[in-house]
Chain A
Amino acid sequence: MSVVALRSAKRSAAVLAAIAASTSVLTGCGSSQATGNSSSASGGSIKGQSITLYSGQHAQTVDALVKDFQSRTGVKVNVRSGDEAELANQLLTEGSASPADVFLAENPPALTTLEQKGLLTKANASTLAAVPSGDSSPKGDWVGVSAREAAFVYNTGKLQAGQTPTSVKDLASSAWKGKLGIAPSETDFAPIVTRVIKAEGEGAAKAWLEGLKANSKVYGSNEDLVAAVNRGEVEGGVIDHYYWYRLRDEQGASGVHSALGYFKQGDPGSLVDVSGAGILSSSKHQAAAQALLAYLTSKPAQQIIANSHSYEYPLAAGVQNTKVDRPLKDVGAVVPASDLGDGKQALQLLQSVGLLS
């Protein structure tokens, strides 16, 4: 009995200290003076609450983030790790009865769909202010947490560094016939199509997709595609940069026969895609959920993302990724999430040319 009592006394002391620490951290990192208000105001009341996070993100990084958040706030987070698309379908089916409090997605379309169905609630202004405004929903229903960049992965036995395309539009030219791989069913691919539609119009985008289709082998996932490029089955393909870094980790230096090239600044293929998080309007723990969102965009969390093996870019000012060779600023202007929308137009175009079933 006494041991239990002692332990719980110790724990609550630790929790109080952690909250004090987290509040100061959260207050310190934002650009707005309002940062951390919600968590400091409700800090006492959220301690001991438990919330549920539906996460379509890299499980190990989310694990590290959640552990840190728990120790700072005393809020227990139950993580439901799954496939982003399946989780989105689950949330849509659950509707207002969902046990989820926060949804952490990989790409904007899933969040935008939930937003359109009215299932999300606004993130605190201070949280939204912690990352560049273009990285979050224009309506403020979800906030950007991290980012990945579209890149051209190529087999180093078949192409030299200088031979990679500078524009994603070049990939439709007949010079690439039979040499490319694409994974159009991945949620990362549609945003590029959206960008081409924006830049060139729907007709030109369709012609481009038809050219791309004629040149390419279609793969079921980016994981399959990057592995196929690495073993030389195709010469190159468009993926998000982090797939190649994870492949490098797994294969080791001797097993890597591929490298990343990038499209030139301003090209539709030069694209940074945001992973964001939103709070379910049905959540019964709004304060704790807001605290988690505030934490995810705070410096300590962004530092964990920057150092993790998910190889994503952190979004908060002043946090640099040390694991990726190319700094985010070299990418050029980040496309505002509002430009990408829910991706329906790109999807229908992909379906009409037969790249998607």
Chain B
Amino acid sequence: MSTLRPLVRPSLPPVLRWRAGRALPLVAGLVALVVACPLVFIGLQAGRSGWDSAGRLLERPLVGTLLWHTVSLTAAVTAAALVLGFTAAYLVERTDLPGRRAWTVALAMPLAVPEFVHGYCWVSLIPSVQGYWGAVLVMTSSLYPLVFLPVAATLRHSDAAAEEVARSLGHGRLATLWRVTLPQTRPALAGGALLVSLYLLGEYGAFAMLRFTTFATAIYTEYETAFDTESASILTLVLVALALLVVSLDARAARRGRVVREGTTARPCAPQPLGRWKAPAVAGLAGVVGTTLGVPVYALVYWTMRGNSSTLPSTSILSATAATLGYALGAAAIATAAAVPVALYAWRRATRLARAVERAVYLTRALPGIAVALAVVFFAIRYAQPVYQQPPLLVAGYAMLFFPLALTAVRASLAHVPHGVEDAARSLGVRPLAVLARVTLPLILPGLGAAFAMVALTASTELTATLLLRPTGTETLATQFWIYTTDLAWGAAAPYAAVMTALSIPAVVLLTRRTLGTPRPSKGMR
């Protein structure tokens, strides 16, 4: 265990601290404020509601059932994603599994399939996938890569020495796994679990297709059937409370596991022989990939061949593709750039305030998409009328929605940067901004790439906010897919889903490379 040590921050001379810290809290605070806009909107709207109607909504016995659905589903899917993500990452990174590179990409690939396409594929092909277990199956198979990728990255970057020492001291394979490997990946597991569970709290569309109701269903009823924003906001406050709970649990889990490597390079681990477990392991992974990727691909091919509305897609698929790409890449750039100051602030200052700012922005992730989109409408039409329903607004909306994804990726890569590096550079007389440009940013470059890919991937398949925020007359692949499926024209819709998925493949490959690629610290230290 000699190479692992708990995080200790060497203190900085006061003068240096003042200079370095002047702008950062300000910028980080500003970003957090913008990202928290939807929370302000929810608060404002909820405040306008009469408590009578709030009471009527919250006192229904059904609310208890819905809360139980949300909590039990979130717990089950998060647990399943943790087990599946960790097991897959361990097999790929620590064993002599054949074809490990190919498995890595295939296991990350479900990220390329939008959730509503996942839901639609399952339902249209295997209608018996419904209700609680249907939801657990579909959500786990679309969300586990959020755990798999960071855990695989941690395993690849962590030094094998600790595990070897444990084994040489007589620990068996399982004991080493449990007492050394698992604790090393705790921050990665916590980050993945945070994203998965926050996502599940606010998700609605996929559950509607799977005939499963959660607390978000009640919120959508108020928005979409009663047109009652105030009541919807009251209910959303309950989700925010749940999200606070999840975020604080994550804070505890991540704190306990914060470890950094002392050396700059990790020595790769000799793969553990799987022996007679090799065939079951390969079969298991093939089952996972077949389920999570095979079903959507099969459904898309089926509907393209089978549906009467199938035609060669019109030229509108080109403009929809261009629009989708433009918005998604723009959002990815902005969200990644905005995540840097927030992550840096929380990383440099381990103060309570810095941590609170960092965690507050995660709450937005748990809000239903329609709430975030209406918040953007609300603020933009009052304070930014010239950009209302213009491309920058949709880009801003995406950046706001998916900021937590970018933050998680940047945060994860900062965790690998030895803490003294910036201080050392500064003590040599390098100015703070130059330290950032020449030392810190190059060190977290893989994390920036992962953040960019992650946001681009998710934004390119977003539907609810897109419908509300896109410029009038512009269609993205997701909105066009939606327009056709509401007409029951599955054959015409399928090519749009296929293009969406195909476009995502480079992002997934980039994501796996950036997340897993070995960092080159020497470049930044030159």
Binding site for B on A (CB under 8 A): 52, 58-60, 78-83, 85-86, 88-90, 92-95, 97-99, 109-110, 113, 185, 187, 190, 217-221, 223-224, 226-228, 231, 233, 243, 246-247, 249-252, 255, 344, 347, 351-352, 354, 356-357
Contact = CB atoms under 8 A, between A and B. Distances in A.
Interface stretch (B322-330, B370-378, B429-437): B370-378
Contacts of A255: 306
B22 interface: no
Contacts of A113: 227
A86 B211 contact: no
A252 B491 CA distance: 12
A243 B213 CA distance: 23
B226 A347 contact: yes
Nearest to A246: B488
Interface stretch (B165-173, B174-182, B215-223, B343-351): B215-223
A57 to B, nearest CB: 11
A225 to B, nearest CB: 10
Contact of B227 (A58, A85, A247, A250): A85
B327 to A, nearest CB: 16
A97 B381 contact: yes
Nearest to A247: B488
B472 A59 contact: no
B381 A93 contact: yes
Identify the interface centre among B226, B227, B389, B486: most chain A CB within 10 Å of its CB. Answer: B227
Which secondary structure dominates chain A's binding surface?
Answer: helix
Task: Please provide the 3 A-B residue pairs with the shortest distance between their CB atoms, ordered closest to farther.
Answer: A220-B208, A85-B224, A357-B218
B464 A86 contact: yes
Contacts of A94: 377, 381
A217 B62 CA distance: 17
11 contacts: A79-B473, A82-B468, A89-B370, A97-B382, A185-B208, A185-B220, A223-B488, A246-B487, A246-B488, A357-B66, A357-B221
Contacts, number: 125
Contact of B370 (A86, A224, A356): A86
Identify which of A79, A80, A109, A252 gathers the most chain B CB atoms within 10 Å of its CB: A80
Contacts of B221: 185, 351, 356-357
Given A78-B473, A86-B464, A93-B374, 18 more contacts: A80-B472, A80-B473, A83-B467, A85-B225, A86-B224, A86-B370, A90-B374, A220-B208, A220-B211, A224-B123, A226-B488, A231-B127, A249-B308, A255-B306, A347-B226, A351-B221, A354-B60, A357-B213
Interface size bucket, B side? 35 or more
A224 B223 CA distance: 21
B374 A227 contact: no
B226 to A, nearest CB: 6
Contact of B385 (A93, A97, A217, A243): A97
Interface in B48-68: 60-62, 66
B483 A59 contact: yes
A288 to B, nearest CB: 16
A322 B250 CA distance: 61
Contacts of A97: 381-382, 385
A344 B227 CA distance: 10
B388 A347 contact: no
B275 to A, nearest CB: 46
Contacts of B374: 89-90, 93
A28 B388 CA distance: 40
Contacts of A347: 225-226
B490 interface: yes
B229 A218 contact: no
Interface string B456-487: 00000000100110001101000100010111
A243 B489 CA distance: 11
Nearest to B223: A89
A98 to B, nearest CB: 8
B317 to A, nearest CB: 15
Nearest to A353: B62
Nearest to B474: A80
A82 B309 CA distance: 21
B319 interface: no
B392 interface: no
Interface string B102-135: 0000000000000000000001100100000000
A356 B209 contact: no
A250 B488 contact: yes
A92 B224 contact: no
Nearest to B130: A217
A251 B464 contact: no
B307 interface: yes
Given A82-B468, A90-B374, A352 B60 contact: yes
B185 to A, nearest CB: 37
Most buried by B among A226, A233, A356: A356
A227 B124 contact: yes
A85 B467 CA distance: 11
A356 B224 CA distance: 12
Contacts of B66: 357
Contacts of B475: 81
A15 to B, nearest CB: 21
B490 A250 contact: yes
Contacts of B308: 249-252
B298 to A, nearest CB: 17
Most buried by B among A220, A223, A344: A220
A158 to B, nearest CB: 16
Contacts of B60: 351-352, 354
Nearest to B369: A86
A217 B211 contact: yes
A255 to B, nearest CB: 8
A99 B124 contact: no
Contact of A357 (B217, B309, B389, B467): B217
